[in-house]
Amino acid sequence: MEEKTWGMRFNQRPDYQRLTKGQKPQGCPDWLETRQISIWQEQGLILWNNVDKHIEVLHGGDALRLLSELHSQDNWKSQGISITRLVHKIKIESPPRGRRKKMEPEPKVEQGKSEDIYEEMVHLPPQAGPELIELLEKKKPILIEMAASDKKQWEEVVRQFWDSAFESFHKHEHVELDFTNSPFAWQKEDQYQLVCKYQSVEGRICIGKSKLLWYARVTRPRHIGKSHSFIELVEAVQWAEKEMVELADQPDVPEPPPYFRSDEQIAADRARLQKKLLGGPFWIDPAILEPKQITYKVYIELSAYPVSFKTLELEASEPLRYDERYLSPSKLSEALNLDIDRFNIDQPIGENTDLYKITTLTALFQEISAADQAQKAWDQSRILQQFKAGKIRWASYGYQEVETGYVTYLGACHEPDIPWEQPAARKEYMEDRAFRETLCFALDITDFRDYLGINPEYSTDEQLLRAMHEIRSRSKFMPEAIRRESKKWLAEHEPLE
């Protein structure tokens, strides 16, 4: 829009045009000079004065500031509207000219004085005010978005500037550092990372993500390491070398045993225990566990990724994830297209964990029907879509024997780095279940620990004894007196909350 002495226009986005020499943009004032064309084409509010032949652009934040001033002040109604820009001015005084006398001291020259001021770029008449307010109010949502974008771009420019400055400074430090006569074998992995091996200790120095500080860390297996931050690289190196020597002088800490014994050791222990208990008073034959009638339920098991989590950014290492949240059973049923009224969804590890076990509420009498229903449930669900979308880590499906708990798997989906482990055959499953009952019947802590294959450092006698009594109290294959004995023990040894 243009009046006799002034004009304004709003560019929601940059309006750059290819122009030949001497050509002017369409709609611009006749007096617009070549050096002013770029202002006419910029994004934002364009304002000009035809008398002074001045033109200026206000970006999002400046345009919003102008709107606020027009609403809060009234002096523009008589004095006109001053379109200003924040400028940084430096005033430098020149020394006096002329010859100085021989003994006359050199005159002092004051250092330049700087200040930030709002300087008028365009002046508009009072009658421009109402129309300007109307346009700014109309474009206010767009201006708010522009201001946010401008702020983000400015912050990125500032960040890149300081990153470049810090990188240049640290690169110079890195290049100048000389390890020729150092007793420590520092290796430069890249221009911002140093590594040193000293006996069994490792020292590592790297630049932080903020590019401001050097981070030094010393570590030793099975020991508590140390870390510290420094402004100067030489200080980080001196600290790391001192700490590496002190950490190396500490006594060795023996490597802890693994949680489980080796597969070979577990197999040998189980064979020995079976030979020891076979045919004895505590032996429970696998045939006894076979139910008179077997019923089946559709069975689905899956591991899901968290739907949300928080991240703690660390300067010298990968971000730390915490407060992971998983779908509740009802939300999972919606996501997988499984009717919550037909399926029971359990989280066996506990609430807000990644593992889910899903079974139908209806028990089926025919194995072929169970297999057919399991395939239909899998095909009609959205499990594969959720897996493909990266929301499920792995999933498997089949049907489960209600009386024994044995699962016949029909299929699975999983990532290549998470191989699918084929479960034991039904005969092996039933033999192992009977053997577990036998061991609990005997109530020998050492034998039960050997059967589980857990090293003593990770399982107390109290924990194993409680586990055996819980199995005995629920058993359908031990004498009633044994079940009562274990229930009594559990009641007398109920853990305090």
Tell me which H or E stretch contains 5: none
Which stretches within 443-479 are classed as H helix? Answer: 445-452, 461-474
Q: How far apart are CA 265 and CA 455, in angstroms?
A: 11
The total number of structural domains in the chain stands at 3
> pLDDT exceeding 90 applies to what percent of the chain?
65
Task: Convert the pLDDT of each residue in 28-51 to its tens digit.
Answer: 998 999 899 999 999 999 999 999
Inter-CA distances, 129 with 2, 7, 490, Å: 13, 12, 85
Query: Residues 228, 270: one domain?
Result: no
Whether 235 is covered by a domain: the verdict is yes
pLDDT(218) > 60: yes
Report the range of poorest mean pLDDT among 14-28, 452-466, 474-488: 14-28
Which stretches within 343-425 are classed as H helix? Answer: 367-380, 383-388
Quick check: 358 and 398 in contact, CB under 8 A?
Answer: no
Report the range of poorest mean pLDDT among 129-133, 174-178, 230-234: 174-178
Whether 107 is covered by a domain: the verdict is no
Query: Residues 154, 28: one domain?
Result: yes
Query: Residues 48, 153: one domain?
Result: yes
Query: Residues 227, 268: one domain?
Result: no
Whether 111 is covered by a domain: the verdict is no
Tell me which H or E stretch contains 210: none
> pLDDT exceeding 70 applies to what percent of the chain?
93
Pick from 359, 245, 350: nearest CA to 297: 359
Whether 254 is covered by a domain: the verdict is no
Query: Residues 244, 278: one domain?
Result: no
Whether 204 is covered by a domain: the verdict is yes
Query: Residues 287, 395: one domain?
Result: yes
Query: Residues 226, 278: one domain?
Result: no
Inter-CA distances, 426 with 194, 301, 320, 405, 423, Å: 56, 18, 42, 10, 9
Q: How far apart are CA 259 and CA 455, in angstroms?
A: 6
Binned at pLDDT 50, 70 and 90, residue 112 comes out as low
Binned at pLDDT 50, 70 and 90, residue 1 comes out as very low
Structural domain boundaries enclosing 212: 186-248
Query: Residues 303, 348: one domain?
Result: yes
pLDDT of the residue at 159 = 80
Whether 451 is covered by a domain: the verdict is yes
| Residue 135, token pair as written in the block | 């346009």
Q: How far apart are CA 494 and CA 436, in angstroms?
A: 23
Q: For residue 256, what are the contacts with CB-CB under 8 A and spacing of at least 6?
A: 222, 457
DSSP per-residue codes, 260-274: B--HHHHHHHHHHHH
Q: Output 310-317 pairs: Cβ under 8 A, ≥24 positions apart.
A: 313/209, 315/208, 315/209, 315/210, 315/213, 315/215, 315/229, 316/206, 316/208, 316/209, 316/215, 316/217, 316/227
Whether 103 is covered by a domain: the verdict is no
Whether 181 is covered by a domain: the verdict is no
Quick check: 387 and 381 in contact, CB under 8 A?
Answer: no
Query: Residues 400, 313: one domain?
Result: yes
Rg (CA), the chain: 39
Tell me which H or E stretch contains 93: none
Task: Convert the pLDDT of each residue in 134-172 to its tens digit.
Answer: 999 999 999 999 999 989 988 888 888 877 777 777 777
Sign of CA dihedral 280, 281, 283, 285: positive
Average pLDDT, the chain: 89
Q: How far apart are CA 170 and CA 166, in angstroms?
A: 6
Query: Residues 206, 336: one domain?
Result: no
Binned at pLDDT 50, 70 and 90, residue 2 comes out as very low
Task: Convert the pLDDT of each residue in 299-329 to its tens digit.
Answer: 999 999 999 998 876 665 677 888 999 999 9
Quote the pTM value.
Answer: 0.62
pLDDT of the residue at 107 = 60
Query: Residues 471, 428: one domain?
Result: yes
Query: Residues 391, 426: one domain?
Result: yes
Binned at pLDDT 50, 70 and 90, residue 105 comes out as low
Quick check: 411 and 396 in contact, CB under 8 A?
Answer: yes
| Residue 296, token pair as written in the block | 């089946």
Task: Convert the pLDDT of each residue in 379-428 to its tens digit.
Answer: 999 999 999 999 999 999 999 999 999 999 999 999 887 777 888 999 99
Q: Which amino acid makes up residue 280?
A: G
pLDDT, average across residues 443-468: 94
